[in-house]
């Protein structure tokens, strides 16, 4: 029986089967199979087949691991979303959140640029929407003082209509507000990831006649730092 099994194993190996595939048909120990087949040579085509199967197996493992990570991420995010529903966001908290956001992403007054007005740039539509909500509810800025400019990679020139529609829908401003487009030069060696169909460039929000307001925000940031002992 063992001779028959050995012969079957050798024949399967010569046909290009992997050890795992053979062991499903020849029920022996892997060490025994290895001893039987160590001298069985494979053609180039058979080696290529086994290499493809090996990489296919690795990809399946990677896909499974990635799916697990994605599902875990979704579960954590959904749990966190439910937790936030119990938090009451007061106007004071909204003021603080927007002030911190501007500290991180907004243009600040400097000694060499003391007349800097409010200017905020980002490519995240949710962040843009939140900032517009903040300047409306906290700073009481009317729409006619808001200027919106799009900065777009030049490879997206043919899609400018869709880009303008996207930012119009995001900000709830009319298309007329997006008449100024600045194009970025194309760099073949660029490592940036935001190049796909969901890339709509960067939006810059400027508030006209807002130099003193920007100085006021600077004071808010300084006061918050002093309150919490941040040097």
HEC sequence for 142-186: CHHHEEEEEEEEHHHHHHHHHHHHHHHHHHCCCHHHHCCEEEECC
* Residue 18 forms part of a structural domain: yes
The pLDDT score that the predictor gives to residue 206 is: 97
The residues facing 86 across adjacent strands are none
Q: What is residue 184's predicted lDDT score, i.e. its pLDDT?
A: 87
Q: Are 7 and 118 members of one domain?
A: no
CA-CA distance, 206 to 132, in Å (whole number)? 10
Asked if residue 86 belongs to a domain, the reply is no
Residue ranges, the chain, pLDDT below 50: none
Domain containing 197 equals: 91-227
Determine the pLDDT at residue 190: 53
Question: What is the pLDDT at residue 187?
Answer: 66
Residue 52 lies in a domain: no
Instruction: Specify the pLDDT at position 52.
Output: 85
Identify the pLDDT of residue 118: 98
Residue 112 lies in a domain: yes
| Domain contains 73 | no
* 186-218 residue pLDDT tens: 665 555 555 667 899 999 999 999 999 999 999
The domain total for the chain is 2
CA distance 26 to 38: 16
Residue 22 covered by a domain: yes
């Amino acid at each position: 029986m063992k001779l028959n099994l050995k012969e079957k194993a050798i024949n399967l190996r010569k046909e290009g089967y992997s050890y795992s595939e053979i062991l499903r048909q020849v029920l022996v120990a892997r060490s025994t199979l290895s001893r039987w087949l160590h001298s069985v040579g494979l053609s180039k085509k058979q080696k290529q087949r086994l290499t493809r199967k090996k990489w296919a197996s690795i990809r399946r493992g990677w896909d499974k691991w990635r799916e697990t990570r994605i599902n875990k991420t979704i579960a954590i995010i959904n749990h966190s979303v439910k937790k936030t529903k119990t938090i009451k966001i007061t106007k004071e908290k909204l003021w603080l959140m927007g002030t911190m956001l501007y500290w991180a992403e907004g243009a600040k007054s400097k000694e060499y640029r003391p007349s800097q007005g409010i200017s905020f740039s980002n490519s995240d539509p949710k962040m843009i929407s939140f900032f517009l909500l903040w300047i409306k509810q906290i700073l009481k800025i009317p729409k006619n003082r808001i200027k919106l400019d799009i900065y777009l990679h030049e490879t997206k020139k043919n899609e400018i209509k869709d880009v303008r529609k996207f930012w119009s829908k995001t900000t709830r401003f009319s298309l007329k507000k997006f008449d100024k487009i600045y194009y970025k030069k194309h760099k073949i060696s660029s490592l940036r990831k935001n190049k796909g169909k969901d890339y709509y460039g960067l939006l810059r929000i400027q508030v006209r006649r807002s130099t003193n307001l920007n100085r006021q925000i600077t004071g808010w940031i300084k006061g918050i730092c002093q309150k919490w002992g941040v040097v």
